[in-house]
A and B are shown apart, each in its own frame.
Chain A
């Protein structure tokens, strides 16, 4: 199992360090992105990735390597701080930029409109969060986010539970 980790926490965050080390050991292959070392701008909602340059984001920064990695790895674990009970803006900016993975076309599935996926890929996304996140809400949000990208949510867990999560997610 190939694992992708995207962390918006500082590299030296002690629990994140332990979690990443443990997750990496359980994976056959692991790649980590630390966004503190990268330039990841917010999505500007220009729709270019749907209508002008399909599949390619118009915002030119370090994000494209993350987009490609989503396709290359079997499981993605996001590691984030929280604010207002939700993921913080740094992680939301990362996740907002995932739109090129969907096409502009839509169809109705299970009673709701969904974007037709761009690639034949069943994404598996999980979230580890630091701080006072609302776990019930974050779990719900992850499942909705995955639903719209034809993926499977592995859930949202406080980073303190990294040992259990490593067993559950991988």
Chain B
């Protein structure tokens, strides 16, 4: 099977979490003897080739980050430029990643993704949602590799059937929600740990002010009104 993968991330390939996930997914996909080609919508020079690849191939997988409960504007622009296929036989699947840990955060976007293939004359190959990916580029190589490991296996499983089966989703797309105990921990002691880590990362990135700073002071807002 040859899979056309289109990354809908807006972030440049070298800094993109989605690109890292796609690379891990392809590693698993290729383990089963499958082949792939990858197009990045963050690079507009690739849009025409991505469009041609969509038109000429039957196994399409969009990988995307969750942006305000749906697909990034950049990907939406690309999708709106595609023409619906007249011949049946193409299947579109989606790999949706987000920063929040719960898969339930991606369900609103999934609701939209489900409608897309039919609008483009294609069949739906399922949506695999994986959260907790915010730290992929920020937490160092060791943690990054650990976060990417499931995608290698998911890629291999996807290669066996060509879509995201319910078995793949049930095993890997977790947690749907946090347990009561996890909620207590997260809102309790882990909250301070999280803030410490965030401040540490921010400092490393050159941030010199509070992460909860309010840069638009009253004076700025009066300017808008005028």
Identify the A interface with B (CB < 8 A).
31, 42-46, 50-56, 65, 67-69, 71-72, 83-86, 88-90, 92-93, 95-96, 98-99, 103-108, 111-113, 116, 118-119, 134, 137, 140-141, 144-145, 148
Report 23 cross-chain contacts, Cβ distance below 8 Å, ordered by A residue. A43-B10, A45-B16, A45-B72, A46-B15, A52-B205, A53-B207, A54-B210, A67-B216, A68-B220, A68-B221, A84-B80, A89-B73, A89-B77, A92-B76, A98-B68, A104-B211, A105-B212, A112-B100, A113-B105, A119-B214, A119-B216, A141-B69, A141-B112
CA of A83 to CA of B116 in the docked complex: distance in angstroms?
Answer: 11
CA of A76 to CA of B116 in the docked complex: distance in angstroms?
Answer: 28
Any chain A CB within 8 A of the CB of B139? Answer: no
| B186, A116: Cβ atoms closer than 8 Å | no
Interface hub of A31, A85, A89, A105 (most chain B Cβ within 10 A):
A89
Residues of B in contact, count (CB < 8 Å): 58
CA of A99 to CA of B80 in the docked complex: distance in angstroms?
Answer: 24
| B76, A89: Cβ atoms closer than 8 Å | yes
- Measured between beta carbons, the chain A residues less than 8 angstroms from B119 are 84-85
Contact with A along B175-215 (1 / 0, CB 8 A): 00110000100110001001100100110011101111111
Cβ-defined partner of B108 (8 Å) among A44, A51, A140: A140
Known pairs A51-B202, A141-B112; A148 contacts B69 (CB<8 A)? yes
| A51, B198: Cβ atoms closer than 8 Å | yes
Q: Residue of A at shortest CB range from B198? A: A104
For window 75-89 of chain B, which residues contact chain A by CB distance below 8 Å? Answer: 76-77, 79-80
CA of A21 to CA of B192 in the docked complex: distance in angstroms?
Answer: 49
CA of A56 to CA of B208 in the docked complex: distance in angstroms?
Answer: 13
Known pairs A54-B213, A54-B215, A65-B224; A144 contacts B108 (CB<8 A)? yes
| B79, A54: Cβ atoms closer than 8 Å | no
Q: Residue of A at shortest CB range from B203? A: A51
